[in-house]
Structure 1
Amino acid sequence: MIKINEKMKELLKKVEKSEIKTEIKADELAKIMFVNFKEVYNCIIIDMNNTIKEESINFQRILSMFGDRTGYEASCNEIRINDYINYSDEGTVIQLGKLILNAWKDKLKTEYPEYNFCIIFSFSNGFGTMRFHVIREDESRWLESDLNKYKDEAIIVEEI
């Protein structure tokens, strides 16, 4: 299921035919499109350098800081697209966000078919942000269901 708020719908119409206009190094793009995911204490998290070790994590402290697994995942599974590209316009960031969302969707479902995920792409003030979390029956989603409440952000949410 895909949900898109009104602000993102407007931006998508505006940039639907735009070309990606930026300098992107293939290795930088690969870092954010094909990130390493790792399961830690029943959470799926991004492990960019493949260095996270479950035994090194004080998970009780993490839960006390973030409240639940969903909050932890949504917070630590955040990547700002603009940090990986040299120059970009809003059309480029939005087009890349859609590409990354689809890449993450395919990879998460392939590697963790037993889980359902909420993948979020948001755009605000020229910056695109990707994040995701596992959908849990005993925890609420990270975002409210009415995405139009987020007036300052353009948002796409895909639940898989």
Structure 2
Amino acid sequence: MLKMNKSMKEALAKAGQVKKLTGTLTVSNALKLFWPQFVEASGCVLRQREPPWPEELGPMYQYQHDRTDFEASVNEIEIGDYINRRGKHPLEDLALAMKVIQVWECKLKRQFPDYRFHILCSYQDDEDGWGANMRFYRLREEERALVDGDIENSSPLAVLVSEF
């Protein structure tokens, strides 16, 4: 299920006009972006990194509010960073982010069928704008979701939440 605020609906209407990327997406970056390795450690679902996550995170996430906050923080990406031109063509970043969301949904559902997730996408296109930012986290009954309830007033940014 997709939920988005008015700003995101307007941005997606513009991003729908994007037909090609002006940046460079290397094979290595394409794989990291579209087909990341997801692992589970200490009950957290994480994008794999180098060096790999330990099986037990121990005190690694003690400075975060909870596991949801930790996951959202370490699973955050800036789309433009993968195309070697962060912030220069933000609508292209948003168009690409929408494709990445579809792939991540399929991959997370397949790999972790018993878990529910949020994938968040935020977008900004102004003098301070950086394009599209994405993150994901597991939904847990005992922890509060980062975006819950009124998405229209949750942020000054354009925001989309995919819940599955």
* Cross-structure match for 1:69: 67
Give per-residue Cα distances to partners, 1:42-65, cap 9 Å, x unaligned.
11011134711224x324x52x31
CA contact (8 A) 2:89 2:131 kept: no
Q: Which amino acid aligns with 1:105?
A: E
* Cross-structure match for 2:92: 92
Between the aligned partners of 2:10 and 2:154, the Cα distance in structure 1 is 14
The answer to whether structure 1 residue 148 and structure 2 residue 148 are counterparts is: no
The answer to whether structure 1 residue 46 and structure 2 residue 47 are counterparts is: yes
CA contact (8 A) 2:147 2:154 kept: no
Query: Normalization by structure 2: what TM-score?
Result: 0.87
SS of the residue 1:147 aligns to: coil
Written as runs of structure 1 = structure 2, the 5 A alignment for 1:4-83 is 4-22=4-22, 23-49=24-50, 51-55=52-56, 57-59=57-59, 62=61, 64-83=62-81
Q: Which amino acid aligns with 1:68?
A: D
RMSD: 1.7
Between the aligned partners of 2:142 and 2:121, the Cα distance in structure 1 is 24
SS of the residue 2:63 aligns to: helix
Cα distance change on mapping 1:132 and 1:151 into 2, 3 Å:
closer
CA contact (8 A) 2:94 2:131 kept: no
CA contact (8 A) 1:31 1:48 kept: no
Deviation at 1:151, TM superposition (A): 4.5
Between the aligned partners of 1:108 and 1:50, the Cα distance in structure 2 is 21
Query: Normalization by structure 1: what TM-score?
Result: 0.89
Deviation at 1:15, TM superposition (A): 2.1
- Identical counterparts, % of pairs: 31
Between the aligned partners of 1:140 and 1:150, the Cα distance in structure 2 is 14
Q: Which amino acid aligns with 2:100?
A: I
CA contact (8 A) 2:91 2:131 kept: no
Between the aligned partners of 1:159 and 1:50, the Cα distance in structure 2 is 29
Give per-residue Cα distances to partners, 1:109-145, cap 9 Å, x unaligned.
0000010001111112132111011011111111242
Higher-helix-fraction structure: 1
Larger displacement relative to structure 2 (109-118 or 45-54) = 45-54
Between the aligned partners of 1:155 and 1:103, the Cα distance in structure 2 is 19
Between the aligned partners of 1:108 and 1:154, the Cα distance in structure 2 is 24
SS of the residue 2:156 aligns to: coil
